[in-house]
Amino acid sequence: MDEKEKFKLEDFVERMKSYRARHTELITVYVPKDLDINIITKQLESEKSTAANIKSTSTRKNVQDALESLIRVCKQMKRAPKNGVALFAGNVSQVEGQADFITEIFEPPEELNIRLYRCDQTFVIDPLEEMLEIKELYGLIVIERKEATIGLLIGKKIKVLKHIDSFVPGKVRAGGQSSQRFHRITEGLAKDFYRKIADIVKSEFFNLKNLKGILVGGPGPTKEDFLKEGQLITALQDKVLAVKDIGYADEHGLELLVESSQDILAGQEIVHEQKILERFFNMLGKEREKTAYGKADVEKALSYGAVDVLFLSKKLKKEELKQYEKLAQETSTKVELISTDLDEGMQFWNLSGIGAILRFKIN
């Protein structure tokens, strides 16, 4: 999602998290992409009938009114939006006996892959919060002579892209010329399999703009044979961050590959932060007029639309972060959040925790 969508989502999540009902009467509905909206309408009508059994008169009325509101919303939809939709309704008044009903329809910037109905004292916003997590992409390849699985690590989630069986025969113990001939044939078939996997990897990974690296795993020497014989193009070969011994080459193998590569993945985040801070500090020393730091200078640069990259320390107050992210969104400015895990991050915090690289010089 772009910065505008991200800010809109952050603002919506914060607002929905602030609501809490006096009783269990806030309705949350998540409709995944491609689901027939009529199914949700029928479910809500069924829930409305069930709600008639609620003993408390006020709670029963509030739940039924919330459900009726969402039923009307669903009936107006011909189909769920392309990414699915999140629906919220209920009485959010904190005063007993008073009504403050809200009905919210939110189309997320990313695909919803969850179907959910919940009646609780708070709205369920976890699926939307997950969309705000950093979603750097890592290519995953687990391979052995019999099979291979290709996937993506998106944030903290693994997505399986392809599973391919090789049909390469196993090794035989028979000796003699026939054994040597069989060996040559099977090795040729194995190389063909490696090249087939390399072609699939290219089609799946080559055009991914956010691909940070590739992890390769599998049992025995097959993974090394694949990297040597598969003719993987140089641009992708250079992105291989680690080669791990994994006992499986199926979907479970992808999980084991990610699990065994946590040190590599954590290191990549640190490397990214080091690089962007190194650029900022270098420009601060060599091209001072193309940088800004401190509230006054950065806010002035933002008001001129001069900020290319805005650096914000994660130690800033949440309200400040939201304020600066909103200003950045208005001028299509990229935002980088800086931790204090590194010495450079602490140095940046001590510098004010607010900095910028500028598009052009300002007076």
Tokens of 149: 């699985």
Whole-model pTM: value is 0.54
Question: What domains are there in the chain, each with its CATH number?
Answer: 3-130 (3.30.960.10), 137-260 (3.30.420.60), 267-358 (3.30.1330.30)
Q: Could you tell me the sign of the dihedral formed by the alpha carbons of 17, 23, 24, 28, in that order? A: negative
**Measured between alpha carbons, how far is 323 from 317 in angstroms, rounded to an integer?**
10
Q: What pLDDT was estimated at residue 102?
A: 95
| Mean per-residue pLDDT pooled into runs of 10, the chain (363 residues) | 77 93 94 90 95 92 95 89 93 86 94 92 92 82 94 85 84 60 80 92 89 93 90 89 94 93 80 87 93 94 94 90 88 88 88 95 83
Q: What pLDDT was estimated at residue 209?
A: 76
Q: What pLDDT was estimated at residue 316?
A: 92
Q: What pLDDT was estimated at residue 137?
A: 87
Bridge partner residues of 87 (DSSP): 29, 105
Bridge partner residues of 159 (DSSP): 152
Q: What pLDDT was estimated at residue 177?
A: 59
Tokens of 164: 């391919």
Q: What pLDDT was estimated at residue 173?
A: 52
Q: What pLDDT was estimated at residue 342?
A: 77
Q: What pLDDT was estimated at residue 1?
A: 66
Q: What pLDDT was estimated at residue 189?
A: 87
Q: What pLDDT was estimated at residue 176?
A: 55
